[in-house]
Amino acid sequence: MIIVAILILVLDQVTKYMALEFLVLHEPVSVISGFFNLTLVHNKGAAFGLFSGIENDLLRVGLLWTATIVALVFVGYIYKTEAKGDRRLEFALGLVIAGAIGNIIDRAFYGYVVDFFDFYLGTYHWPAFNIADSSICVGVALLILFGKPKSVKT
């Protein structure tokens, strides 16, 4: 779990550094015309811009930090009670932890999360995201797919 988390965290932070260095805020760089751009976005909310509409900075930041801490405590609980020795669950938890820490680092240093993957069809754009967001989504999906309480016998 730790190796997965470290690898994903390093990849996340390196790509965010590159996005900050080489992309201009809100100016798309086409990668696959009509489908995928690299577009630097400063996301002051949670995944997919959730909570970004909250104007009160103190309230928004408080909600984000609280949700992140609760999520990390929950992941720790799952690891301690359910996942120890189960490589699939450990891998999934490593993905979630890496993503959460990657976005925590952004919030702590910049006050926002660095997003830059911009997928779209026509005028519909999926909210911009990053490797940390992807890691969290894949990790949660794997937890749902592979997770089952030890108390359930099959």
What is the band of 80 on the pLDDT scale with cuts at 50, 70, 90? Answer: confident
Higher pLDDT, residue 64 or 70: 70
What is the band of 49 on the pLDDT scale with cuts at 50, 70, 90? Answer: low
Do 133 and 103 form a contact (C-beta atoms < 8 A)? yes
Q: What is the pLDDT of residues 97-151, one digit of tens each?
A: 999 999 999 989 998 999 999 999 999 999 999 999 999 999 999 999 987 655 5
**Which active-site residues does the annotation give?**
115, 133
| Token pair listed for 10 | 């390093």
pLDDT score of 45 more than 80: no
How far is the C-alpha of 68 from the C-alpha of 50, rounded, in Å?
A: 13
How far is the C-alpha of 50 from the C-alpha of 28, rounded, in Å?
A: 22
How far is the C-alpha of 89 from the C-alpha of 101, rounded, in Å?
A: 18
- pTM: predicted TM-score of the whole model, two decimal places: 0.85
Ordered DSSP codes for 123-138: TEEPPPB-HHHHHHHH
Domain ranges of the chain: 1-22+65-148
| Token pair listed for 97 | 């932890």
Q: How many residues does the chain have?
A: 154
